[in-house]
Amino acid sequence: MKKISLTGIKPTGDLHIGNYFGAIKPALELAKEYDARYFIADYHALNTMKNSKELNFTIRQVAAGWLACGLDPEKVIFYRQSSIPEVFELTAMLMAFTAKGLMNRAHAYKAAVQENTERGDDTDAGINMGLFTYPVLMAADIIIFDSDIVPVGRDQVQHIEMAQDMAQSVNANYGQQVLKVPQAGVQDNTAVVPGLDGRKMSKSYGNVIPLFASEKALHKTIMRITTNSQSVQEPKDPDTSQIFQLYKLFADESGQAALAERYRAGGMGWGEAKEELFSAVNRCLSPIRERYDAIMSDIPSLDRILKQGAEKARPIAAATVKRFRKAAGID
């Protein structure tokens, strides 16, 4: 039997090229050898997104993004978390096996508490129970599909370890393998994609290159990349330039070597380096953007794909809940 790969993305905004190279592309690679289940974590987004129109739209944006990047819904079970009510039943059951102290140690919760403390606010100001119990819902997402491997960025590893903890507590309590214990699939070669300002590209830093911006908007964004004050004539070090780090993601080895040579030779200003980057990014993203625009212009078809995915997913989810209920004496 093939092993199962599962991952989810929160629909909290426009996808950017960090999401593509860090999450979507590696997950689609894994889908070639694993049975893949990829989903839109819309209940996770609800913790922070309270504008209904916006959330409704970003759910479709992220779904269309996966498809435009090459997800084949015939091969990958592709669905919305909110379409699988069994996930929330499993969440309730896992709650009974999750120490509150474990949640107190979750990085995202701790970071929110620390921000409050630094600001002199009440420690729990603005923190809802969705954020506090986030790792339990995420564990249910994973465990419900008997996942073997969960491709995620390094920041998510703690959540997978917590899911392992929960599955192991259940198995230990009932003295049998009720739930499969998942593993994190962090890819060492997935570089952290730098943003316009050189920090990690992230929505929360406002330094992203969106995956589906129009050509004009893409050009404008790339021209905003911060640079140092080196003159056109000065030789430049490609290895310390985020323009070149971004270029590497879009060019083959000979293209990279040729441009690196021009950096080192001098005579190429940052403006020209950005134009080279723009051409490479635009060439690579144009077909993806066209597919994305076509998918977004037909939301009913997109919703149908997600619904069909949910129909395939639900029986698998129901079987896990049934197994757990039986072990627990609630059958």
Residues lying near ligand ADP in the complex (CB under 6 A)? 9-10, 18-19, 21-23, 152-153, 155, 192-193, 200-204
What, of ligand ADP, ligand TRP, none, does residue 204 touch, CB below 5 to 8 Å by kind? Answer: ligand ADP
CA distances from 225 to 77, 84, 198, 220, 276 (A): 38, 41, 8, 9, 13
Using CB under 6 A as the binding rule, the residues of this chain from 138 to 157 that contact ligand TRP are: 138, 141-142, 150, 152, 156
Which are the contacts of 125, defined by CB distance < 8 A and separation ≥ 6?
116
What is the nearest approach in angstroms of ligand TRP to the Cβ of residue 6? 6
Count of beta carbons in the 10 Å neighbourhood of residue 158: 15
Number of residues that bind ligand TRP (CB under 6 A): 13
Give min distance, CB of 311 to ligand ADP, in A.
26
Interatomic CA distance for residues 234 and 245, integer angstroms: 19
Closest CB to ligand TRP among residues 39, 324? 39
CA 81 to chain centre: 14
150 binds, among ligand TRP, ligand ADP, none (CB under 5 to 8 A by kind): ligand TRP
Q: Contact 177/192 with Cβ under 8 angstroms? A: no
**Which residues 30-59 are close enough to bind ligand TRP by CB under 6 A?**
41, 44
Closest CA to 10 of 121, 112, 120, 159: 159
For 314, residues 6+ apart whose C-beta sits below 8 A from its C-beta are 83, 84, 86
CB of 222 to ligand ADP, least distance (A): 16
Decide whether 192 or 318 has the Cβ nearer to ligand ADP: 192
The entry of ligand TRP, ligand ADP, none that residue 236 binds, CB within 5 to 8 Å by partner kind = none
Please name the amino acid found at residue 22: G
CB of 151 to ligand TRP, least distance (A): 8
Strand ranges inside the chain, DSSP E: 4-9, 35-40, 77-80, 149-151, 183-185
Q: Which residue, 36 or 222, is less far from ligand TRP as judged by CB?
A: 36
With contact defined as beta carbons under 8 Å apart, do 276 and 247 qualify?
Answer: yes
Query: How far apart are CB 84 and ligand TRP at their closest, in Å?
Result: 12
CA 311 to chain centroid: 23
Tell whether residue 7 is a contact of ligand TRP (CB under 6 A).
yes
Q: How far is the CB of 328 from ligand ADP (least distance, A)?
A: 32
CB nearer to ligand TRP: pick between 281 and 306: 306
Q: Which residues bind ligand TRP (CB under 6 A)?
A: 6-8, 10, 41, 44, 138, 141-142, 150, 152, 156, 159
